[in-house]
Amino acid sequence: MGLKVYINGELLEKENAKISVYDHGLLYGDGVFEGIRAYRGKVFRCEAHVNRLYDSAKAIGLEIPLSRQEMIDAIYETLNANDLEDAYIRVVITRGTGTLGLDPNKCHEPQIIIITDTIVLYPKDFYQNGLELVTVPTVRNHPAALSPRIKSLNYLNNILAKIEALQSGVVEAIMLNKDGYVAECTGDNLFIFSEGKLQTPPPHAGILEGITRGVVMDLAREIDIPVEERQLTRFDLYVADECFLTGTAAEIVPVVRIDSRDIGDGQPGKLTRQLRSMFQEETQNAG
């Protein structure tokens, strides 16, 4: 039996899960989304993800025609319909079908789409031996133009950076902000461990405040590792003892090389491995 996709209250076979070519999510990237994980049949940090989804929608003047609890119920309904326990969940809300003009008032019914499937973002080798990154020319969107706290369907900024990473022979890129400080990667937040502190760029650097990012910061505090949000330069990355990325799909992946420079001893660091182990334990109590 094939996968089913939730669209506006209906569970449709994957091949029949379709929306109009006049949908403003397709035409203009007018919509929001969340990527969520399920472990052992339980959705990890479901309420936090749903709250961020509704905040993103409200920020762009998009009213989701379900209550937050109804959205959570729909997520579980889709997950259970596909008999998936360990899964990636993509919730997409578009402005809906409209005209070829920009006017969002011509869109009368938002589209609610929920996809549950499996995902492998990075090969196992990267978790064991670490990832190499490069800094790319594409600058992170100016936060005054589009707030990074809005998880919108327009990911072209990230995609351009991803292309530059792939052209450089690596799979992930570091994006700087307009002031030349480290922001984030194309799909993940970034941490370094340096001078006995876990450090990560602050929200005003132009980052998405990732759910996994927050979990990792809490886990570090549990083992008495100081956590600091501060502006980071490429120099800070180059001289760090450890570096790793966090994200819903990626979880925690070590970084061992940036711009042809080894990080620390060029191997996944001790704290990185410890936090990854703690995070995996956390996911076993998903919810």
Looking at the fold, whether 18 and 159 belong to one and the same domain comes out as no
CA dihedral 56, 61, 62, 64 (to 10 degrees): 80
Residues 157-181: tens digit of each pLDDT: 999 999 999 999 999 999 999 999 9
204-209, long-range: CB < 8 A, 24+ apart? 204/143, 205/177, 205/181, 205/231, 205/232, 206/140, 206/141, 206/142, 206/143, 206/148, 206/177, 206/178, 207/140, 207/148, 207/183, 208/148, 208/149, 208/151, 208/184, 209/149
Query: In the 8-state DSSP scheme, what is residue 63?
Result: -
Reply yes or no on whether the pLDDT at 209 is more than 60.
yes
Looking at the fold, whether 161 and 267 belong to one and the same domain comes out as yes
Reply yes or no on whether the pLDDT at 286 is more than 70.
no
Domain end point (choices 86, 117, 148): 117
Residues 222-235: tens digit of each pLDDT: 999 999 999 999 99
Backbone angles phi, psi at 92, to 5 degrees: -125, 130
- Cβ–Cβ under 8 Å, residues 92 and 116: no
pTM of the model: 0.95
Query: Number of structural domains, the chain?
Result: 2
Tell me the pLDDT band of 208, cut-offs 50, 70 and 90.
very high
Catalytic residue among 151, 162, 197, 270: 151
DSSP 49-61: HHHHHHHHHHHTT
Type and span of the H or E element at 253: strand 251-258
Looking at the fold, whether 20 and 100 belong to one and the same domain comes out as yes
Tell me the pLDDT band of 120, cut-offs 50, 70 and 90.
confident
As a whole number, the mean pLDDT across the chain is: 96
Residues 127-155: tens digit of each pLDDT: 999 999 999 999 999 999 999 999 999 99
Reply yes or no on whether the pLDDT at 285 is more than 80.
no
Looking at the fold, whether 142 and 274 belong to one and the same domain comes out as yes
Give the pairing type, strands 131-135 and 251-258.
Answer: parallel
Q: Give the C-alpha separation, 232 to 84, whole Å.
A: 40
Residues 62-92: tens digit of each pLDDT: 999 999 999 999 999 999 999 998 999 999 9
Looking at the fold, whether 107 and 134 belong to one and the same domain comes out as no
CB atoms within 10 A of CB 35: 18
Q: What is the pLDDT of residue 284?
A: 85
Q: What is the pLDDT of residue 2?
A: 85
User: Has 106 been annotated as catalytic?
Assistant: no
Check which CATH number belongs to the domain holding 275 and give it.
3.20.10.10
Type and span of the H or E element at 161: helix 156-167
Tell me the pLDDT band of 21, cut-offs 50, 70 and 90.
very high
Sequence-distant (≥ 6) Cβ neighbours of residue 9 within 8 angstroms = 74, 112
Looking at the fold, whether 162 and 74 belong to one and the same domain comes out as no
Helices (H), 21-115: 24-28, 46-59, 68-81
Residues 177-200: tens digit of each pLDDT: 999 999 999 999 999 999 999 999
Whole-angstrom CA distances from 150 to 52, 60, 109, 145, 186 are 8, 8, 20, 11, 15
Looking at the fold, whether 169 and 221 belong to one and the same domain comes out as yes
Q: How many residues does the chain have?
A: 287
Domain end point (choices 100, 117, 134): 117
Provide, rounded to the nearest whole percent, the portion of the chain with pLDDT above 90. Answer: 95
Residues 234-244: tens digit of each pLDDT: 999 999 999 99
Looking at the fold, whether 156 and 191 belong to one and the same domain comes out as yes
Domain end point (choices 117, 139, 167): 117
Residues 23-58: tens digit of each pLDDT: 999 999 999 999 999 999 999 999 999 999 999 999
CA dihedral 116, 207, 93, 60 (to 10 degrees): 170
DSSP reduced 3-state for 244 = strand
Q: Give the C-alpha separation, 163 to 167, whole Å.
A: 6
Q: Which residue range(s) make up the domain with 234?
A: 124-283
